[in-house]
Amino acid sequence: MLSTIRKIEEEFKMEYIPLWERDARKEGKKEGKKEGKEETARELLKRGVDMDIIEGATGISREELEKMALKDN
């Protein structure tokens, strides 16, 4: 099995990445995007930007934005 993987890697010049690792990478990217949106929302809230605008820009619900605003004060 390992020799077959090595042949494929060399033939296509690409590294074999197991499915579980690909899934983990995708999940990490999703989590990173979510954290980035939350960080942006918090900064915009601090600057007094209207919640409707923040909600539209980040996709974070108004309810969650209100929780963030209360938590950060």
Span between the terminal Cα atoms of the chain, in Å: 57
Give pLDDT, residue 17: 81
The structure's pTM equals: 0.67
Give pLDDT, residue 16: 77
Give pLDDT, residue 11: 76
CB 62 within 8 A of CB 51: yes
Tens of pLDDT, residue by residue over 17-56, are 888 898 888 899 999 999 999 999 999 999 999 999 999 9
Q: How confident is the model at residue 3 (pLDDT cuts 50, 70, 90)?
A: confident
46-55 burial by CB neighbour count: b if 16+ within 10 A, else e? Answer: eeeeebeebb
DSSP 17: -
Q: Rounded to whole angstroms, how far apart are CA atoms 4 and 14?
A: 13
